[in-house]
Amino acid sequence: MKGSLGSVFSILALVILISIPGTAWAVSAKVSSFGGGHQIWFEAEDYDLRDPDTDEFYLVAPSPPAGAFGQAMTRAGAEGGMIGWIFDISAAGGTGGTWYFWARFISPNNQSDYLLMDGDPDDVPIPTGPPYPGTNEVPPFVNDLHRAFEATHNEWTWGLADHSQGHTKTLKDGVNTMYVFHRQGDNTVFWDTFMWTDSADYVPTDDDYRAAESAAAVKPAGKLATVWGLMKTTQ
C-alpha cells in the first residue's frame, strides 16, 4: 500500500512540476558571447510546440539540402498551423530587452512567415488555437511587426542583417516562447538553425555556431528541489 501511495504522490509531484508557472523546458541550445553581446542558438527541428502535432503544416525535412547542421524543418505549403520554440536567454547571460532574430535558412522564392514572441507588446494577441490565420496580414498579423524570413536565399544563409520587421523583438527575462505562423512558406523553404542576440552589430557565422557552448535545459533549481522533496517523502 505504501508503494502504491508513493507512486501516486510521485505522479502528483510531476504534475505539480509541469504546472508550476515558469517551469518551462527549453529546447536544446548553445550559447555564446561573441561581439560583445549574448547569443542563444538552437536547431529548428528542436521545436517544443506544434499544433496540430502532425506533418500537415510543419515537418522535419526527409532530405534536407546538403550543409545543414543535423536535420532541418520544411513546410507543407498549407495555410494554417503553428510551431514554437521555448528558450531561456539567461542561459546565455542575457536579460530582457531588445533582441534580434537570425535564421540560417534557404528560401529560393522569398517565402516569408510570421514570427511572434510571448513577451513583446507588439505581438498581442497571439493566436491560441486552430484554425490559425494563414494568409497575408490576416488579423492579428501585421507585416511591419511580424513578418520574418523575408529574403531570397538559394543556399544556407544567415539573415536578416537589417533586423527588419519580425526580426527585432522585445524578450522577457528568462524563458521566452517564439511562435511561427504561416504566411507563404512552402516545401522550397528550409530552416536549419535559429539564433537570438542582444547585439545589433553581431553577425552570426557557421564557425561561431560550431564554437558556441552547449546550454542545459531550463530547470529552476528551487522548484525542482521542492518537488523532489515531495517525492522523497513518499518513499
Write the pLDDT tens digit of every residue in 18-62.
343 433 445 569 999 999 999 999 999 999 999 999 999 999 999
Residues pairing with 191 in the sheet: 73, 105
Write the pLDDT tens digit of every residue in 176-202.
999 999 999 999 999 999 999 999 999
Higher local confidence (pLDDT), 7 or 68: 68
Give the DSSP letter string of 200-216: SS----HHHHHHSEEEP
In the chain, beta strands by DSSP E: 29-32, 39-43, 49-51, 58-60, 73-75, 82-88, 97-107, 113-117, 147-148, 153-159, 168-171, 175-181, 190-197, 213-215
Sign of CA dihedral 78, 145, 197, 108: positive
Percent of the chain whose predicted confidence (pLDDT) is above 70: 80
Confidence of residue 121 (pLDDT cuts 50, 70, 90): very high
Model confidence at 112: pLDDT above 60: yes
Asked whether the beta carbons of 66 and 80 are under 8 A apart, the reply is: no
Q: Residue 147: name the closest of 114, 169, 179 by CA.
A: 114
Q: In whole angstroms, what is the distance from residue 196 CA to residue 17 CA?
A: 27
Q: Residue 29: name the closest of 95, 90, 98 by CA.
A: 90
Residues pairing with 87 in the sheet: 176
Model confidence at 231: pLDDT above 60: no
